[in-house]
Amino acid sequence: MKKLLSIIILFFISINSFSQDFQGKAFYQSKTTMDLGSWGSRMSAEQKSAMKDRMKPYLEKTFILTFNRTESTFEEEERLDAPGSGRSGMGAMFMSAGSGNPEMYKNIKEKVYLQENEFFGKKFLVNDKLPEFVWEMTGEQKQIGNYICFKAVGKRVNDNFSWESLRGSRNQTSKDSTNKENDNNQKISDVDEETNTKVEEIEEVVVDAKIETIVAWYTPQIPISNGPEQSYGLPGLILELNTKNTTMLCSKIVLNPEKKDEIIRPTKGDVVTKKEYTDMVQFKMQEMRDNRGRSRGGRWN
């Protein structure tokens, strides 16, 4: 009870010290562990090590959260690929389709997020509600940099695109892909029309909707109910976020920079929900995988 009271007091002291137009930037180091699944059991230790080295650019990234009191953008920091780290295989196919880490706009007052995506040359604007987080305060605390942070455990529905669900859906969608064997030359502008005809058939396959447990460390010293990715809803900025396979840790904070960045609400692209976009991407990726597998005599690496 005393710890909860101290959090509340610290929050209100901090919120009164910030001006109405204040802005900040938080830099997060993201590290994701790679689950090789059934592939891993067939690989030697050397092969696993080589695979992880090739995947490192995808698994270790830096993100920037630019925020004010109610809005934010979350984007990957630009970097040059290191020599020899060229993309190949599934990662290259996914990136060439235009699905990387596009900037995410978030409005915590309206509880919405928007994301401009380009998929096979066609622009889409994902416009959806922020997920509902159910947070439980634990009372635990630790220091991150110069900030006192408190631990909270949350739950949400995770409907993010998953390569695991794509592997699991192969048998269920291969029949449809076979019937479309000659579609490789189809105009990309028709990708959304093509997908809409299949959504009902694969509805139970394409969305990896699971209840996910998240551990967050937030600081009331920065009284903004925001955080990396879609996280929000705590009485302070989230400086560390731990999900099943990914940890995001804040390494740098800049408050009220002299040059402020304008937080722009995106508007370009055909408006779709997150589920509609995920359905389309996963169906198209499955189709490409099946086509590639047939061209290699039934194998896909």
201-218 per-position pLDDT tens digit: 323 333 445 788 999 999
What is the reported pTM?
0.73
Q: What is the percent of the chain with per-residue pLDDT over 70, rounded to a whole number?
A: 65
Q: Which residues pair with 150 in a beta bridge?
A: 141, 218
Quote the CA–CA distance of 36 and 34 in Å, as a whole number: 6
Nearest to 147 by CA among 69, 70, 231, 237: 237
Write down the domain spans for the chain.
2-162+208-268
Cα–Cα–Cα angle for 146, 148, 151, nearest 5°? 135
pLDDT tens string 167-197: 444 444 444 444 434 443 343 344 444 434 3
Between 139 and 56, residue with greater pLDDT: 139
Quote the CA–CA distance of 12 and 245 in Å, as a whole number: 34
pLDDT tens string 83-117: 444 444 455 454 444 446 789 999 999 999 999 99
Mean pLDDT on 15-44: 78
Between 165 and 125, residue with greater pLDDT: 125
Grade residue 132 by pLDDT with cuts at 50, 70 and 90: very high
CATH class of 2-162+208-268: mainly beta
Mean pLDDT on 138-158: 95
Nearest to 233 by CA among 242, 241, 244, 224: 224
